[in-house]
Amino acid sequence: MKTSHKAFIVLGIVFLLGYLDWLTTVIGLLFCGGTELNPVLSGLTKSSMLVFSATKLVAVALAGFAAYKAVDITIHAKNTWRLTSKFVNGGISLIVLTLSIVVANNMMVVFKI
């Protein structure tokens, strides 16, 4: 089964935004006096930046591959999964929007806007 270009584009966008989130978070924490607002990850930033980074990047990879697989499955479904496709596309749109807002917020902290 051939993978569609749309699935790879989704994977790339989620990876890129997730990586930018991690990078701007680390820069903000280490050099700009920022704080991690995610209560699950904030404890890791105080104890070990290496564990924090590994956890955040693994989460980005898992989210990217889950989005990739969801898009790939809905594209190659034998029957028309219109509702499922709308649900998947809506979820991915929400992920991209949320990550874009988080990266923009982190950039404002880094550049002190």
Domain ranges of the chain: 5-110
- Residue 20 and residue 98: Cα distance in Å, rounded? 13
DSSP state of 1: -
Structure tokens at 101: 């807002």
Model-level pTM? 0.88
Element (H, E) at 30: helix 5-31
- Using one digit for the tens of pLDDT, what is the confidence trace for 47-106? 999 999 999 999 999 999 999 999 888 887 766 667 888 888 899 999 999 999 999 999
Contact 21, 99 (CB under 8 A): yes
